[in-house]
Amino acid sequence: MATVYSAFGRFWLYFLVLIGLLAPSVSQAVPLYARQTGMTCEVCHFGGNFPELTETGREFKLTGYTWGKVNGLPLAGMVLAGKSSLSNTNGSSDPANDFAHDKSAQLQQVSLFTGGRISDALGAFIQWTYDGVAQHSNLDNTDIRFASSTRLADKPMIYGVTLNNNPSVQDLYNTTPAWRFPYAQPGSAFQGYGSSTLIEGALAQQVAGLGGYVDWNGHVYAELSAYRTADKIFSFLRTGQDVAANTYPLSGTSPYWRLAYHDAAGQSSWMAGAYGMNAETFTDPQDNTSPRNHFYDTGVDGQYQWVDGANEWSAQGTWIHEKASWDASSGNNASDTLDSRWLKGSYFYNHKIGGTVGLFDISGSQDATLYANNTSQTPDTQGYVLDFNYLPMNTLKLGVQYTGYTKFNGSASNYDASGTLPGRNARDNNSLYVYGWLMF
């Protein structure tokens, strides 16, 4: 244990020395949108939880990233570095391969951002990311939108069009999969929370979505979009991806919808909503004549924020239910269900120090083929995430995160049936993660 703490200490020393070298320039620079609008980062972002948006941040996104004016080169950057340590490597005869990068410091991610205001009604959020773990770079989350306003039934209405490459990346709230907590995760080989629904990232940077949205009277938000494989004129939306390995992520056009009621008064704001997507995927992503599987994902979500001077509170929750029909099944059930539930609460003081508690619960059908490697043959996974943060300046977040599992892949103990990790328990996957996140 002393060796682990010593290693974490060295990581922080190296990272802080790096920040010390960068600090003179960072302290005089702010990210792209802050330069454009003339507002500080905390106006649009809650506490130290970037990328969590405040009411002002959501309005800025809703209106197409067009507030203010372009000042200089429209660029910003991000660096995420971290180090994680698993509770133990029980059951593994080769930890270096089974749990790659455990207990090693990593430059996890370097991102470059551009976009912002393009014209009075046109703006964008464009991210290019280098993954330091995979040592690969590609176009990341991208949202290009047109926005304007009118009146309907004598009430104000904002309307717009979005072109994006990740279902829910265009959403205003930190409840949908693209922007959901945890905002930073370990860069080790083991970094998941069990099984996930299709909408929870499986299509990210592989598809092109085009849709329209309205926000009526500052209360009702609605969107309808259509997603398809990002090919032909939309192929730029998956620049850098290994297209050969995933040539046909979607069959045809898949509808995505969103409906939410929201309000803000004084220090508080809240939202209650629902969203969903129906999609068909090929069983062989390199063969568009292969049989297709069908996914029906429906989510309900809610959010509450309270900002009162130095004290900031927020809570978000989401529940996604998926029904998957295996038209091309080979031993699977004819259909399965999967439920993904997330709940989190955050508190920050003076935009400097705070923390987040998150709970996750994944459950689903028993399927002897789909979950053949699980002793219970179910995806059931439960646990929690504790994340504590300190911001020495508003563009730098230092964090300590602990993830605990009470159940993993169907069981609390001896969950692996493949023979790869015999006798491994859910709690063996508990991890401690320290990280530094710099925006500039």
66-71 contact pairs (CB < 8 A, 24+): 66/117, 66/118, 66/119, 66/120, 66/121, 66/122, 66/123, 66/147, 67/36, 67/37, 67/117, 68/36, 68/37, 68/38, 68/117, 69/36, 69/117, 70/36, 70/116, 70/117, 71/35, 71/36
Q: 405 is written with which tokens? A: 């599992």
In order of their start, the domains of the chain are: 2-439 (2.40.160.10)
With beta carbons less than 8 A apart as the criterion, state whether 352 and 377 touch.
no
Q: Which amino acid is at 295?
A: F
DSSP letter (8 states) at residue 50: T
Report which of 163, 168, 101 is spatially closest to residue 135, judged by C-alpha positions: 101
In the predicted model, is pLDDT for residue 25 greater than 60? Answer: no
176-to-39, 167, 220, 295 alpha-carbon distances in Å: 26, 9, 17, 17
Triad 276, 282, 283: Cα angle to 5°: 115
Summarize the confidence of residues 290-310 as an average pLDDT: 95
Q: Distance (Å, rounded) from C-alpha 120 to C-alpha 67?
A: 8
In the predicted model, is pLDDT for residue 17 greater than 90? Answer: no
Cα 81 to chain centroid, rounded? 17
What percent of the chain has pLDDT above 90?
78
Q: Distance (Å, rounded) from C-alpha 217 to C-alpha 273?
A: 16
Q: In this predicted model, what pLDDT tens digit does every residue of 375-402 receive, in sequence order?
A: 999 999 999 999 999 999 989 999 999 9
With beta carbons less than 8 A apart as the criterion, state whether 276 and 246 touch.
no
The structure's pTM equals 0.92
Q: Predicted confidence band at 301 (pLDDT cuts at 50, 70, 90)?
A: very high
Residue 282: how many other CB atoms lie within 10 Å: 21
In the predicted model, is pLDDT for residue 148 greater than 90? Answer: yes
Q: Predicted confidence band at 106 (pLDDT cuts at 50, 70, 90)?
A: very high
For 285-301, b/e burial (b = at least 16 CB within 10 A) is beeeeeebbebbbbbeb
Q: Which amino acid is at 75?
A: L
Q: In this predicted model, what pLDDT tens digit does every residue of 281-297 receive, in sequence order?
A: 998 999 999 999 999 99
Report which of 384, 385, 365, 373 is spatially closest to residue 414, judged by C-alpha positions: 373
pLDDT of amino acid 21: 44
